[in-house]
Amino acid sequence: MAQYDDKVLHELDGIKEYDNPMPGWLMAILWGSLLFSAAYLMFYALSFGEGTMEAEYRQQTQQSVAAVQAYFDANPLVPPKPAELLAGAGNAAIVETGAARFAKSCAPCHGPQAQGLIGPNLTDDHWLHGGSVEQIFQTVAKGWPAKGMPPWGRALRPEELSALVSYIRSLQGSNPPNPRAPEGEVFAAEPIAGH
């Protein structure tokens, strides 16, 4: 090892530390990374750049919201005629479609038999926001977010929404076990077509 003795930096207890510098290409990567990270920090994190990521995100979010609103404006939610909803409440196929949607979307709050859990009982003649089929449609479509009822009008296909309202109307007077206490005003329900 005598040939490397001129490259010894330190020697302690017979252990020699040699001068072994990093290769130039590795030092270039190190310094390049440090310079890039400083430039990135200045440009993006400290917002010196014109097109910051936050501004770009806000702009894209506004464009998306505007596109969704434009779609809703071009395709307004038009409720079906009350007679159609009442006729659907007497149609077994429509009621079955509505029951399937109710089980997925409504049962967690209103109970599997609409007897009321967190949400009100939908089988009695008391209604918080009106019990006509038009009012039920508006309640389901627009929801009552302040009371925890989400708007389902844009989340469901129109025929599915109508079937759900027809199903809810078909439950009137079904008297499930363990119903929640009546809430709201008494409303005399319209007769279901065919009954």
- Taking the C-alpha atoms of residue 22 and residue 24, their distance in angstroms, rounded to an integer, is 6
CATH number where 176 lies: 1.10.760.10
Q: Which of 25, 41, 74 is the last residue of a domain?
A: 74
Q: Which of 16, 46, 74 is the last residue of a domain?
A: 74
Say what the pLDDT of residue 17 is. 79
Q: Which of 41, 74, 107 is the last residue of a domain?
A: 74
Please indicate, yes or no, whether residues 90 and 164 belong to a single structural domain of this protein.
yes
Say what the pLDDT of residue 44 is. 72
Are the beta carbons of 168 and 158 closer than 8 angstroms? Answer: no
Q: 97 in a domain, yes or no?
A: yes
Its domain, for residue 55, covers: 2-74
195 residues of the chain, pLDDT tens digit each: 556 566 677 777 878 777 778 899 999 999 999 999 998 888 777 766 556 677 788 899 999 988 888 887 887 788 888 888 888 888 999 999 999 999 999 999 999 999 999 999 999 999 999 888 899 999 998 888 888 899 998 888 889 999 999 999 999 888 899 999 999 888 877 767 555
Say what the pLDDT of residue 71 is. 80
**What is the 3-state secondary structure of 115-178?**
CCCCCCCCCCCEECCCCCHHHHHHHHHHCEHHHCECCCCCCCCHHHHHHHHHHHHHCCCCCCCC
- Taking the whole predicted model, whether its pTM rises above 0.85 is answered as no
Please indicate, yes or no, whether residues 51 and 27 belong to a single structural domain of this protein.
yes
Q: 193 in a domain, yes or no?
A: no
Please indicate, yes or no, whether residues 102 and 24 belong to a single structural domain of this protein.
no
